[in-house]
Amino acid sequence: MERKASRRENECEEKNSNSESSELDKDYKTSLITLNVGGYLYITQKQTLTKYPDSFLEGIINGRIMCPFDADGHYFIDRDGLLFRHILNFLRNGELLLPEGFRENQLLAQEAEFFQLKVLSEAVKSRWEKEQLASRETTFLEITDSHDRSQGLRIFCNSPEFIAKIKSRIVLVSKSRLDGFPEEFSISSNIIQFKYFIKSENGTRLVLKEDNTFVCTLETLKFEAIMTALKCGFRLLTSLDCSRGSIVHSDALHFIK
């Protein structure tokens, strides 16, 4: 009799355990929400969508706002499905994090207003205003030598990000061509200054190693700047010094998108 009673107790405990596990699974599954936003499916947790009270998504989940369903029973929201990725990331992270080169600030601001996320809307508008201000300011990069700053190459562009990219590319090329000579040039915010940047007999500006080998001409760096600009979607607006007759021989380049 004792064995039968013990067996029944174990069976009851297993049933209760299975029941509790089933309830936990059920609760977890119901906490997952699938949204169909403009044809794109997003799966996230209920707590993510209800993070900001009085938002459009919080209203849908808590039943304050009526929302249609698609054929599979998912909430359907007729908005930009691609941009919703950034809306959802904001809800997850609590801050605005956008990929490099993002240019759809105005559209994202409209989406933020639709979803009634005031904090996100303000963050997007602030980012947009900063970009507009930066675009009005021409940024430059100067490549010169430590003895004669009047000689060299100047690159102008209204995109600080682009100037930073060109700068890193030119530094990379210079280092590869000046292997073993790490002190050949110094770098500051807007200037790359070569230590042994000299003038050859035919007038070109270049770097001279100790064994009198020419390794890095201005033409090489100019070519790298132009190719980087074209790959990034910029165009050469003008050669600021056309007196020499060609872009190759000019002292300055001006890029714009």
What domains, with CATH codes, occur in the chain?
A: 26-134 (3.30.710.10), 140-171+183-256 (no CATH)
Give mean pLDDT, residues 92-100: 90
The 3-class SS string of the chain reads CHHHHHHHHHHHHHHHHHHHHHHHHHHHHHHEEEEEECCEEEEEEHHHHCCCCCCHHHHHHCCCCCCCECCCCCEEECCCCCCHHHHHHHHHHCCCCCCCCCCCHHHHHHHHHHCCCHHHHHHHHHHHHHHHHHHHCCEEEEEEECCCCCCEEEEEECCHHHHHHHHHHHHHHHHHHCCCCCCCEEECCCEEEECCEEECCCCCEEEECCCCCEEEEHHHHHHHHHHHHHHCCCEEEEECCHHHCCHHHCCEEEEEC
pLDDT digits (tens, 9 = 90+) for 153-186: 788 887 778 888 878 877 776 666 555 444 566 7
pLDDT over 60 (residue 11): no
- Judged against a pLDDT cut of 80, whether residue 76 lies above it is answered with yes
pTM: 0.49
